[in-house]
Amino acid sequence: MEPAVETKKLTRVFNPKKKKEGASVRALNSVDLKIEKGELFGLLGPNGAGKTTLLKILSTLLLPTSGKAYVSGLDVEKDYVEVRKRINMVSGGEISGYGLLTVRENLWMFSQFYGIKSSIALERIDDMLGKFGMLDKKSEKVRTLSTGQRQKMNVIRGFVTDPQILFLDEPTLGLDVNASRTIRDFILDWVRKSERDKTVLLTTHYMAEADQLCDRVAIIDDGRILACDSPENLKKLVKSETTLRLDVTTMKDQRVLGTIPGVEKFTSTDDLENNITSLRFVLGDESAISDIVSGVAKGGSKILALRKTEPTLEDVFIKLVGKGFE
Amino acid sequence: MAVRSDLRTFKNAAWLGWQMEANWTDPFLFVIYSIIKPIAGTLILVFMYLVITSGATNTLFFSYMYVGNAFYMYVADVLFGVTWVIHDDREHYMTLKQVYIAPISFYMYIFGRAAIRIAITSMGVFLTLLFGVLVLGVDINLAAVDWPLLALALVLGLACLCIMGLALGGISFLTAKHGQGINEGVAGVFYVLAGVIFPITILPGWAQTVSRLLPVTYWMEAVRRGLEPAVMAGLPGSTGLQSLSNLQLMLALLVSTVAFLFISLGIFKYADKVARRKGKIDWTTTY
Ligand SMILES: Nc1ncnc2c1ncn2[C@@H]1O[C@H](COP(=O)(O)OP(=O)(O)O)[C@@H](O)[C@H]1O
Ligand SMILES: [Mg+2]
């Protein structure tokens, strides 16, 4: 079975309009990617990394300068007619839409370009408008929507046509927490319930989004893929172990805590004035946490606060690039 | 399958065009744009004619000019219309890329949108002609009209305009919003060279050669022969195409339309490729 998306040494160079306006930009630099059917794949990178450029090439809007890109085994450059039947794309921050049409009409019209039966399309539209909390807007003209509502409408447009492969370019860009969560939940549900039939390639510059949502993540910077793996495996690249911090009421006998299996390092500081002991554990094995908690209880202390710090994709990015995001 | 999909696309695009152009939420504006504007435009020409000839409107030549001018509205509207659709979709609604990556024939989308423009323009053309006949004494006798010739000429001519619109549409993938110059140029060339308001015989020889390559020239002649046969028969001097029989005239229109079909498709395909190479489909003008 061919992969949903595959690129081979994909390169895209943008030339300045006039020579003197500066050097050409290598937006994609020999990108090799393989995304399997049924994956929820994330492309994580800062602004200007080349994410949008890649999605434009895959969705037949833009041609590569060199290298190859395949969608469902089809060459995006030559077989674009066939590619278009299988895909759709939505860009975040997209406020597009025919202002004179109603939300429902606008979505329905695009579904018709994909030959979706009218009754099925309308059912799907109402269902999604409901899930996105926009059912009351369905008969409103598109031009009366707020930017956030327009963006949600466009995300719906991507799903309404029921593509095999959906490209989402920063789908939650600038949306509030609730709207973002709704969209993420919907994406996840859509991919999962298809039983490996649907593929999503989404780009984001939100670390947490890539981490929580995606099966695999490719980290892109300056047109190059620096790493590509599951979020868990990526985080293993930065070998900082799990750190557990506990604030407890003053604990006199702490010896037992240092002997718990899985605890690699253990430090404590007492704040007698406030009756607090701060404990810090470096864990080789997270199963030690429950032993620590019961150890504290046996020692007669109460837990006031508990924090677990784990490596994030941000740490991975910093390690790979040598600088943080933005 | 492909035919069904094309028909569906045409229907959808026409539906969209109707929603957007026949803006009944503001009937007042709609009436002004589709009816008053064309008639007002015609009156300017009539006024200039009267000043220059200091004459009357009941001459054969006035009827010749008036009809040509009325049908020229189609030329301007279809050619500008297609380009306008693309600019509007791209820069105003920002939907061009969504339509572009849809699995449809973009030609059918353009033709669907153009069909609505043609329908609306037809109203303007009809009212302009009516106004001419009733108020200015333009010589159109319904009993004498050669309906089959007129109908065939209209169908072929409008198809031809849509085809040329396609080429301009392709070019407008590559031009900015203010790049209407090409269209104005093309429309202007037709106005002068295609015998719209004066016979091509008053042009210099080389220009007449160009005229005979343009389908619009044959179209104008065919429409006039269909609509005002008496005027065409009685006109002093030659229109330059009088030696052609009706059949020859329609053949000439057909042949030049087919030739333009190939030219237009070539231009569109080329422009489409360049647009994809340069990333112009979702590009907006930045000032
Ligand atoms: N049409 C274009 N013309 C010139 N440069 C471009 C064009 N599109 C993108 N770029 C450049 O290519 C690089 C990658 O851009 P993009 O793919 O939009 O990044 P991202 O989506 O990750 O923010 C940037 O340096 C950007 O300035
Ligand atoms: Mg981007």
Pocket test for ligand 1, best of A7, A14, A54, A55 (most atoms within 8 A of CB): A14
Q: Report residue A48's pLDDT band, with 50, 70 and 90 as the boundaries.
A: very high
For residues A169-178, average pLDDT: 93
Say which residue, B179 or A216, is predicted with more confidence. Answer: A216
Instruction: Tell whether the model's pLDDT for residue A326 goes beyond 70.
Output: no
Q: Which residues of chain A form CATH 3.40.50.300?
A: 5-234
Q: Please give the full DSSP string across A200-234, using - where no structure is assigned.
A: EEEEES-HHHHHHH-SEEEEEETTEEEEEE-HHHH
CA distance B216 to B75: 8
Instruction: Tell whether the model's pLDDT for residue A31 goes beyond 60.
Output: yes
For residues A9-20, average pLDDT: 85
Instruction: Tell whether the model's pLDDT for residue A242 goes beyond 80.
Output: no
CA-angle at A240, arms to A238 and A243, nearest 5°: 145
Q: Report residue A223's pLDDT band, with 50, 70 and 90 as the boundaries.
A: very high
Closest ligand 1 atom to Cα of B283: 1
Ligand 1 contact, A76 CB (< 6 A): no
CB–CB of A67/A8 below 8 Å? yes
Q: Please give the full DSSP string across A132-201, using - where no structure is assigned.
A: TT-GGGTTSBGGGS-HHHHHHHHHHHHHHT--SEEEEESTTTT--HHHHHHHHHHHHHHHHTTTS--EEE
Q: With an 8 Å Cβ cutoff, are A105 and B19 in contact?
A: yes
Q: How many CB atoms lie within 10 A of CB B185?
A: 10
Question: To the nearest whole percent, how much of chain A has pLDDT over 90?
Answer: 68
Chain A hits for B284, Cβ within 8 Å: none
Helix (H) or strand (E) holding A74: strand A74-75
For residues A50-75, average pLDDT: 97
CB–CB of B119/B110 below 8 Å? no
For residues A70-81, average pLDDT: 97
Ligand 1 contact, A33 CB (< 6 A): no
Q: With an 8 Å Cβ cutoff, are A98 and B20 in contact?
A: yes
For residue A250, what pLDDT is reported?
86
ipTM: 0.88
Closest ligand 1 atom to Cα of A16: 4
Closest CA to A153 of A207, A212, A94, A194: A94
Chain A hits for B8, Cβ within 8 Å: 112, 115
For residue A169, what pLDDT is reported?
97
As a three-state string, the secondary structure of B43-85 is HHHHHHHHHHHCCCCCCHHHHHHHHHHHHHHHHHHHHHHHHHH
CA distance B238 to B224: 14
Q: Where are the beta strands (DSSP E) in A222-287?
A: 224-229, 242-249, 263-271, 276-283
Ligand 1 contact, A27 CB (< 6 A): yes
- What's the mean per-residue pLDDT of chain A? 92
Question: To the nearest whole percent, how much of chain A has pLDDT over 70?
Answer: 97
Q: Report residue A262's pLDDT band, with 50, 70 and 90 as the boundaries.
A: confident
For residue A177, what pLDDT is reported?
93
Q: With an 8 Å Cβ cutoff, are A98 and B100 in contact?
A: no
For residue B180, what pLDDT is reported?
65
Ligand 1 contact, B277 CB (< 6 A): no
For residue A238, what pLDDT is reported?
75
Closest CA to B256 of B130, B160, B115: B160
| Matching residue, tokens 């609306």 | B120
Residue B285 C-alpha, separation from nearest chain A C-alpha, in angstroms: 14
CA distance B149 to B136: 25
Burial A177-191 (b: 16+ CB within 10 A, else e): eebbebbbebbeebb
Architecture of domain A242-310: 2-Layer Sandwich (3.30)
pLDDT in tens, chain B (287 residues): 588 899 999 999 999 999 988 766 677 777 777 778 888 888 888 888 888 877 677 788 899 999 999 999 999 888 888 888 888 899 889 999 999 999 999 999 999 999 998 998 998 999 999 999 999 889 899 999 999 999 999 999 999 999 999 999 999 888 876 666 777 788 888 989 999 988 999 999 999 999 999 999 999 999 999 999 999 988 877 888 988 999 999 999 999 999 999 999 999 999 999 999 999 888 776 54
Distance B268 CA to ligand 1 centre (A): 26
For residue A19, what pLDDT is reported?
66
| Matching residue, tokens 């160009």 | B210
For residue B24, what pLDDT is reported?
64
Q: With an 8 Å Cβ cutoff, are B276 and A105 in contact?
A: no
Amino acid at B148: P
For residue B99, what pLDDT is reported?
96
Pocket test for ligand 1, best of A7, A10, A24, A53 (most atoms within 8 A of CB): A53
Task: Return the sign of the alpha-carbon dihedral for residues A110, A114, A118, A123.
Answer: negative
Q: With an 8 Å Cβ cutoff, are A97 and B16 in contact?
A: no
Per CATH, domain A5-234 is 3.60.20.10? no
Say which residue, A115 or A256, is predicted with more confidence. Answer: A115
For residue B178, what pLDDT is reported?
61
Pocket test for ligand 1, best of A7, A18, A26, A52 (most atoms within 8 A of CB): A52
Nearest to B8 among A95, A100, A112 (CB): A112
For residue B36, what pLDDT is reported?
81
The most confident of A28-32, A92-96, A147-151, by mean pLDDT: A28-32
For residue A240, what pLDDT is reported?
60
Q: What is the largest CA-CA distance in chain A?
A: 75
